[in-house]
Amino acid sequence: MASGVQEYPDNSVILIEEETGLIKSIYAQYIAAGAKKPVCYITTRARDDILRQMALLRPPHIDHMEIRELHEAEPGAMCDLLTTETPAGLIVVDPFSIYFMESPLHEFRQMVTRLVAASRNGRTFLLLDDIGVLPDRHEQLLRAMADGVIRITSINEGDKIRRYLNVLKMRGTQPLDKMLPFTISDEGFLIDTRERHG
């Protein structure tokens, strides 16, 4: 359970959300590096920045991943790219919220419906969301329609920041009854699955 989830369901739409920051990107890169299928990583960030960040994670292999810089795209064209034009088995959109924040709710629902339908035909999507960039109803709809929702939470505890994964839902698995603490170090993305007792 190195990713915090016993198993990611294939052919699914997984939402990874965070208030602010790059931790969700690091987590998605960790998942992508460990994938056993071709990955397309679509991002507004520079390709070299993504590769440098991944090198810090000590990924098992990254030769099966294509990184595409895409700074602007009309929502409909972006949806076409994701659902029909990208043949990879795992598609990461970092950040998803930027590409769709101007979409009216009825169009956004249609696009998410297309993503879910495309996922059932052999693709898995990791959609990274900065909470609050999309309108509230868009975020609620996306959470409801996604097969899995993972929230990354950072909490100040004294002079330290503790980070946790909270798996809100995941198709085909039992919901977890706790948040999973994790750290990021030169050893990679490390999730602490030890049970703590009183």
pLDDT in tens, 34-55: 788 899 999 999 988 888 887 7
Q: Which residue has the tokens 């098992």?
A: 60
CA dist., res. 68 & res. 41, Å (int):
6
Asked whether residue 1 carries a pLDDT value surpassing 50, the answer given is: no
Asked whether residue 197 carries a pLDDT value surpassing 50, the answer given is: no
| pLDDT value, residue 71 | 86
| pLDDT value, residue 61 | 58
Q: Which residue has the tokens 């076409």?
A: 80
Q: How many CB atoms lie within 10 A of CB 12?
A: 19
CA dist., res. 150 & res. 143, Å (int):
10
Question: Which is more confident, 89 or 6?
Answer: 89
Q: What number is the average pLDDT over the span 152-159?
A: 89
Asked whether residue 6 carries a pLDDT value surpassing 80, the answer given is: no
pLDDT in tens, 160-196: 889 999 999 999 887 777 888 888 877 777 887 665 4
Which superfamily does CATH assign the domain made up of 13-191 to? P-loop containing nucleotide triphosphate hydrolases (3.40.50.300)
Asked whether residue 2 carries a pLDDT value surpassing 70, the answer given is: no
Q: Can you give the residue ranges of every domain in the chain?
A: 13-191
Question: Which is more confident, 177 or 139?
Answer: 139
Phi, psi torsion values for 133, nearest 5 degrees: -75, -45
pLDDT in tens, 18-28: 998 889 998 99
User: For the sheet containing 180-185, what is the strand order?
Assistant: 65-69, 39-43, 90-94, 124-130, 13-18, 148-157, 160-170, 180-185, 188-191
| pLDDT value, residue 5 | 60
pLDDT in tens, 67-125: 999 988 899 899 999 998 888 899 999 999 999 999 999 999 999 999 999 999 989 99
Which of 198, 195, 196, 197 has the alpha carbon at shortest distance from 1? Answer: 195
Q: What number is the average pLDDT over the span 9-30?
A: 90
